[in-house]
């Protein structure tokens, strides 16, 4: 390629889902609705966990962190896509693209680590109930979350710095609705062997290691549940794992679906559509999965809304009095 085409790129074009003008309002409304539901639902879980002292346990501490990460996960990609549709522009600057890729990689790493930590928490609660409060103390819980942040941050920094070393053509089109690491590496016109090696190694190490840890934890949980004599005890133990298992299945199955669809069809459109499942739909469904059959969380939400109603009544009463 000519030397003139290897100058520093200033912007990319995010092609998104469709360039049909008639579909843009529909896409805008669809993603705006999902984004608002995601933020509102996960924010409710965080507020309910903070306001209800009965939810100050390791499981809900990790759940509130997962909700915070899911808000950041969707906020990294969806607002920019909505803004592009609103302004009828596909442009994203080089700096903003690197910024978006960095935080997307950070939050997806945090999702993986937190899901693994939550599986370990369920293992300790079911298999070692007498030692649970001693082992899963606030210090260890905070340390596990802190380590998740540190490792994910180091990983995202490594990937971002390596992408910064790549050279690109002057005109670049990203067949996606956000700047994704794999797409960025594919668009580079310099040697990407090291980038691909690091990307696939880390993917196998993080995702594979996390999945192994989750499977190992649940294999132990199944063994422990089999030793419980009463059917009521077995049901109670299984019910505490059902929500987490649903979220893990949704997260990993949709991620695997994205990989298989892109590998099988080599169609950017099908890959983009499939990626919506784990980037938007999964964070949106997490609050519903955890709250629908969770009596403790339902009670926390009722208490939260009860407190808000009391505050509103007091404010309205004061306004009338004044």
Residue 6 has pLDDT above 50, yes or no: no
The per-residue pLDDT for range 80-120, each reduced to its tens digit, is 999 999 998 889 999 999 999 999 999 999 999 999 999 99
Please determine, for residue 312, whether its predicted confidence score (pLDDT) is greater than 80: no
pLDDT given for residue 5 in this prediction:
41
Q: What is the pLDDT of residue 264?
A: 60
For 50, counting Cβ atoms within 10 Å of its Cβ (0-12 exposed, 13-18 middle, 19+ buried), the class is middle
The 8-class DSSP code of residue 7 comes to: S
Give every strand in the sheet of 91-93, ordered side by side.
91-93, 11-14, 173-174
Assess whether pLDDT exceeds 60 at residue 17.
Answer: yes
Among 93, 71, 78, which residue's Cα sits nearest to residue 12?
A: 93
162-171, 178-187, 199-208: the lowest-pLDDT one:
162-171
- Residue-wise pLDDT for 24-74, tens only, equals 999 999 999 999 999 999 999 999 999 888 899 999 999 999 999 999 999
CA distances from 139 to 133, 136, 146 (A): 11, 8, 10
Q: Cα(282)–Cα(38) distance, rounded to whole angstroms?
A: 9
Cα 259 to Cα 28: distance, rounded to the nearest angstrom: 26
- φ and ψ of 13, to 5 deg: -115, 120
Least confident of 77-86, 157-166, 226-235: 226-235
User: Packing angle between helix 138-164 and helix 94-127, nearest 10 degrees?
Assistant: 150
pLDDT higher than threshold 90 for residue 22: no
The whole-number pLDDT of residue 319 equals: 44
pLDDT at 178: 92
Coil, strand or helix at 174: strand
Output the pLDDT for position 317: 46
Does pLDDT of 301 surpass 90?
A: no
More confident residue, 297 or 92: 92
Q: Name the DSSP class of 53.
A: G
Can you spell out the DSSP letters for 76-88? HHHHHHHHHHHHT
Beta carbons of 237 and 127 less than 8 angstroms apart: no
Buried b (16+ CB within 10 A) or exposed e, 177-205: bbbbbbbbbebbeeebeebeeebeebeee
């Amino acid at each position: 390629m000519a030397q003139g085409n290897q100058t520093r790129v200033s912007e990319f074009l995010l092609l998104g889902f469709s360039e049909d003008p008639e579909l843009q309002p529909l896409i805008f409304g669809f993603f705006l609705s999902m984004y608002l539901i995601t933020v509102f639902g996960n924010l409710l879980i965080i507020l309910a966990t903070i306001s209800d002292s009965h939810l100050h346990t390791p499981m809900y501490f990790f759940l509130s962190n997962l909700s915070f990460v899911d808000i950041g996960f969707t906020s990294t990609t969806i607002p920019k896509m909505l803004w592009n549709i609103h302004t009828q522009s596909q442009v994203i600057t080089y700096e903003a693209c690197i910024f978006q890729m960095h935080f997307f990689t950070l939050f997806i790493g945090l999702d993986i680590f937190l899901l693994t930590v939550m599986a370990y928490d369920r293992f300790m609660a079911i298999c070692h109930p007498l030692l649970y409060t001693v082992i899963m103390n606030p210090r260890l819980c905070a340390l596990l979350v802190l380590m998740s942040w540190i490792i994910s941050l180091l990983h995202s920094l490594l990937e971002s710095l390596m992408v910064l070393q790549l050279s690109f053509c002057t005109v670049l089109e990203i067949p996606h609705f956000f700047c994704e690491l794999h797409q960025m590496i594919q668009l580079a016109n310099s040697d990407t062997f090291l980038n691909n090696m690091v990307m696939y190694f880390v993917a196998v190490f993080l995702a594979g290691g996390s999945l192994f840890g989750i499977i190992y934890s649940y294999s132990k949980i199944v063994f422990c549940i089999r030793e419980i004599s009463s059917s009521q005890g077995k049901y109670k133990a299984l019910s505490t794992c059902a929500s987490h298992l649903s979220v893990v299945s949704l997260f990993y199955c949709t991620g695997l679906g994205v990989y298989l669809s892109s590998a099988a069809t080599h169609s950017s459109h099908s890959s983009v559509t499939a990626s919506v499942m784990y980037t938007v739909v999964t964070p949106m469904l997490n609050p519903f999965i955890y709250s629908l059959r969770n009596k403790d969380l339902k009670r926390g939400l009722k208490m939260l809304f009860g407190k808000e109603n009391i505050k509103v009544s007091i404010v309205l009463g004061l306004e009338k009095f004044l």
